[in-house]
A = this chain, B = another copy of it.
Amino acid sequence: MMTYEERVRQSFSKQAFMSTLGADLTRVGQGRVEIRLPFSSKLTQQNGYLHAGAITALLDSACGYAALSIAADDKDVLTVEFKVNLLAPAAGEVFEARAQVKRAGQTLTVCSADAFAISGGSEKVVATMLATIMALPIPPAR
């Protein structure tokens, strides 16, 4: 049987989009997950900042894995919905999404996450997410 960290890491490694973005899983705790992404000019919006879609991808994966880290062994997770507030232009060398479980339920788990832009050792919050995640039975292997 896998530990919660192995389950999270295995699932993350299957998210092709994370590898396309260049994102890494930097921390997996119980109910807490962090994902990092170095800036790339391929991920920008019209003013050269990181696109809100890229930031949202980090925040969403971090929230989903925070929920998965505390889910029962026979469950997978699925994002139901989220809200994102963009708090500052996403300018920085590296971006990090930090998610934590706010309330764990039988079926639904609510997570919050902040995204930080990190440059030269200092960091600044650039976005925040509030998300609802659903736990579902893992379908039997085919």
Contact = CB atoms under 8 A, between A and B. Distances in A.
A41 B53 contact: no
Report how many copies the assembly holds.
4
Contacts of A108: 80, 134
Contact of A80 (B21, B46, B61, B86): B86
A87 interface: yes
Contacts of A52: 56-57, 60, 79, 82
A44 B57 contact: no
A46 B14 contact: yes
- Categorize the interface residue count of chain A: 35 or more
Contacts of A134: 107-108
B83 A103 contact: no
Nearest to A130: B130
Interface in A1-45: 11-12, 14-18, 20-21, 41-45
Contacts of A70: none
Interface of A: 11-12, 14-18, 20-21, 41-47, 51-54, 56-58, 60-61, 78-88, 102-103, 107-108, 110, 112, 125, 128, 130, 132, 134
A103 B84 contact: no
